[in-house]
Amino acid sequence: MPANLTPQYLEADRKFKTATTPQDKLQALEEMLATIPKHKGTEKMQADLKRRIAKLRDQMQQRKGAARGRPSFHVDKEGAGQIALVGAPNVGKSTLLRALTNAQPEIADYPFTTRVPLPGMMTYENVQVQLVDLPPITAEVSEGWLFAIIRTADAAALVVDLSTDDFLVQTEQVQAGLGQTKLAIAAVPREPNEKPGLVVANKLDVAGAAARLQRFREFIGDRMAVFPVSATYGTGVEDLRRALFGLLGVIRVYSKPPGRKADNSTPFILRRGATVLDAAEAIHKDFVARLKYARLWGKDEYQGQMVGREHVLEDGDVLELHA
């Protein structure tokens, strides 16, 4: 018997998939259970919903005591790394998130449309990078959990609005807000409180944007790389995608079983500077103690040559480990 799911159920299911807090997830699941058609064709779905609701309630109860000291919102990291989207009100962070990921944030022409963190997964070649759209940073609003998410993210992208003449003032206010919590965004971090980052100069399509972009480049100098984009029309988005992956400081390494072809679909993600021994541990911990030698296929001169345990790997290297 077909389920014949109602529009109300499908809307609740959408809310669940975009929910970022246990409370929102629980509310969406309860709405799904309330709106699902009650007949024999949905009995298994009803039972699964009840099981998920009970499990989530138990988890929330167990975490209740521990959660009191945590930020109001938290986003678990997924994919190759997590990048926070940071900026003033109405700079287009949500539109950028939609352009780069499958997330569907609420978008409107008024400040503070984004009130909670919204994650989305950006595809770069054969890996996924998590982007997190955050509420704006202003002199009047200072949510502790917002800065906590930036602090724990792997990198940050400062989004600037090229449609307004206030873009320099807005940028300085955001940087001041970060500074008050001892945070900063830098092209090359030199201090523990600095996050690797870049600037997204958004709304390149509007009148006067080119002149404002030139002014911003003069203002920022060589402190951070600037990527001009139009999130609305997709201009510059692919170059930005590549640059965001580069912020993470990671490389992709592929495993090649002896006598077989390399698996190029699912790379192992390692920190830049990782060695053959690091890769061996990521592929299988048993290899660390039993590794006899490795062969490497790379972009340069390496085409199956033997390499030592301390050989530093590059993005795209293929390793054949022999134990």
Check whether residue 115 and residue 147 sit in a common domain. Answer: yes
**pLDDT tens by residue, 280-311:** 888 877 777 788 888 999 876 778 889 888 99
Check whether residue 163 and residue 292 sit in a common domain. Answer: no
Check whether residue 226 and residue 91 sit in a common domain. Answer: yes
Domain stops at, among 189, 212, 247? 247
Q: What is the pLDDT of residue 72?
A: 62
Mean pLDDT of 5-12: 84
Query: In Å, what is the CA distance from 103 to each residue of 12, 122, 140?
Result: 16, 9, 28
Mean pLDDT of 214-236: 96
Q: What is the pLDDT of residue 52?
A: 87
**What's the rounded Cα separation, in Å, for the pair 208 and 70?**
43
User: Which CATH number characterizes residue 194's domain?
Assistant: 3.40.50.300
More confident call, 46 vs 124: 124
User: Which CATH number characterizes residue 46's domain?
Assistant: 1.20.58
Check whether residue 99 and residue 225 sit in a common domain. Answer: yes
**What's the rounded Cα separation, in Å, for the pair 134 and 98?**
13
Position 236 pLDDT exceeds 90: yes
Check whether residue 243 and residue 255 sit in a common domain. Answer: no
Q: Is residue 234 assigned to a domain? A: yes
Token pair belonging to 131 = 């982007």
Question: Where does 163-275 have alpha helices with state H?
Answer: 167-180, 209-220, 237-247
Q: What percentage of the chain carries pLDDT values higher than 90?
A: 53
Check whether residue 163 and residue 229 sit in a common domain. Answer: yes
Check whether residue 87 and residue 55 sit in a common domain. Answer: no
Check whether residue 268 and residue 198 sit in a common domain. Answer: no
More confident call, 182 vs 72: 182
More confident call, 220 vs 257: 220
Mean pLDDT of 67-75: 61
Check whether residue 257 and residue 133 sit in a common domain. Answer: no
For residue 311, give its domain range: 251-322
Q: Is residue 255 assigned to a domain? A: yes
Position 67 pLDDT exceeds 50: no
DSSP state at residue 256: -
Q: What is the pLDDT of residue 110?
A: 44
Token pair belonging to 196 = 């690797």
Determine the Cα angle at 152 with ends 157 and 106, to 5°: 55
Q: How many domains does the chain have?
A: 3
pTM for the full predicted model: 0.74
Q: Is residue 74 assigned to a domain? A: no
Q: What percentage of the chain carries pLDDT values higher than 70?
A: 91
Position 70 pLDDT exceeds 60: no
Mean pLDDT of 127-156: 89
Q: Is residue 283 assigned to a domain? A: yes
Mean pLDDT of 231-252: 96
Check whether residue 90 and residue 178 sit in a common domain. Answer: yes
Cα end-to-end distance, the chain, whole Å: 54
Q: SS3 for 153-184, per residue?
A: CCEEEEEEECCCCCHHHHHHHHHHHHHHCCCE
Buried b (16+ CB within 10 A) or exposed e, 281-292: bbbeeebeeebe
Check whether residue 15 and residue 158 sit in a common domain. Answer: no
- Pick the closest to residue 141 from 75, 185, 88, 95 (CA basis): 88
Q: What is the pLDDT of residue 64?
A: 55
**pLDDT tens by residue, 266-280:** 899 999 999 999 998
Mean pLDDT of 243-250: 96
- Pick the closest to residue 231 from 95, 113, 105, 109 (CA basis): 95
Position 102 pLDDT exceeds 80: yes
Split at pLDDT 50, 70, 90, the class of 38 is confident
Token pair belonging to 122 = 């950006």
